[in-house]
Amino acid sequence: MASLVFQTSFLGDTVLTTPLLAAVATRGPVDAVVTPLGATILRGNPTVRELIVYDKRGRDAGVLGLRRLARRLRTGAYDAAYLAQGSLRSAVLARAARIARRVGFDTSAGRALYTERVRYRRDAHHAERLWRLAAGDAAPAPPLEAIRPHLYPGDEERAAVDALLEELRGSEPLVAVAPGSIWGTKRWPHVAAMVSLLDEARFVVIGSDEDSTLAEMVAAAAPGRVLDATGRLTLLGSAELIRRCAVLVANDSAPTHLASGVDTPTITLFGPTVPAFGFGPLAPRSEALGVDGLACRPCHPHGPRECPLGHFSCMRTLEPSRVAAKVRNLLSTTSAT
């Protein structure tokens, strides 16, 4: 009995879909419809038989692209589709592919085309919400290991990280920092100040080419102790680099989920969003930090480009010394084990 999982949303959502993929794979072969970026992060995942790339903003855009993919999916003779990405477009695709059983959330835009609807649990982590598409509403609360994502960097990624780390001298523990985000108000402005407080560590900056300016600011705060890895690795390569680190400090963004997928303790900094939205870190010994007591927080499901009230207190008043103390504590715990 072959199944199909649709996940064409953000990168972090794709990582958090891996527990669902693993659960569905216990019933038979599972394929996944993903974006080109999603395909790169799921490469090597042993629970997925085939990654089917849907370039919905490129070569597969529009009605013709949807029809072309639907024809391809019909040849898979899938028994069930799990709509981890709940858009109307994904639901139309599953129906056009003639998949008889279509499972998705009761809040999704495409729910009218589903044959089964699972309750969207706002009080659960998103990894658990996705896992329940396979487990069902009646399943008991899962153990953490059942909903912890897993990523699988390979030899290529390990070799790339080996070569990169040759540029960073010293023997101090490695701390990864991921200062970027596509959502402007998720970017904590004190990363460089925090780095300057931690003489006992070396740092690697994770991100895309667009984060290079932020990386330069971090490097200037700790000369000789910072490696700028922005734009130099694939997504799985970045996951492998994070795996080599004792701690990751990140905003509420995709690197948090990369770290969860490779079991690296993470300090996730929440500003306009909150962990209760269901996107906190899942790696062991991880923590979520934020400024409590602000009446305006949370202000947005993702994080607006700019603070709606102009003061940006949710991130600006999250002190670098507080975050540095958490990093120091994790480093001491790691060295003691």
Query: Hey, where are the domains in the chain?
Result: 3-147, 156-336
Edge-to-edge strands of the sheet including 50-53?
50-53, 30-34, 3-7, 80-83, 101-105, 116-118
CATH architecture observed for domain 3-147: 3-Layer(aba) Sandwich (3.40)
Contact 114, 91 (CB under 8 A): yes
Mean pLDDT along residues 294-301: 95
Q: What is the pLDDT of residues 249-280, one digit of tens each?
A: 999 999 999 999 999 999 999 999 999 999 99
Maximum Cα–Cα distance across the chain = 59
pLDDT of residue 213: 95
> Residue holding tokens 């992060």?
41
pLDDT band at 1 (very low <50, low <70, confident <90, very high): confident
Classified as helix, coil or strand, 103 is strand
In angstroms, the CA 233 to CA 208 distance is 9
pLDDT at residue 337 is higher than 80: no
pLDDT band at 45 (very low <50, low <70, confident <90, very high): very high
Pick the more confident residue, 334 or 242.
Answer: 242
Contact 203, 225 (CB under 8 A): yes
Q: What's the predicted TM-score (pTM) here?
A: 0.95
Average pLDDT, the chain: 96
Q: What's the N-to-C CA distance of the chain in angstroms?
A: 44
CATH architecture observed for domain 156-336: 3-Layer(aba) Sandwich (3.40)
Mean pLDDT along residues 115-139: 97
pLDDT of residue 336: 44
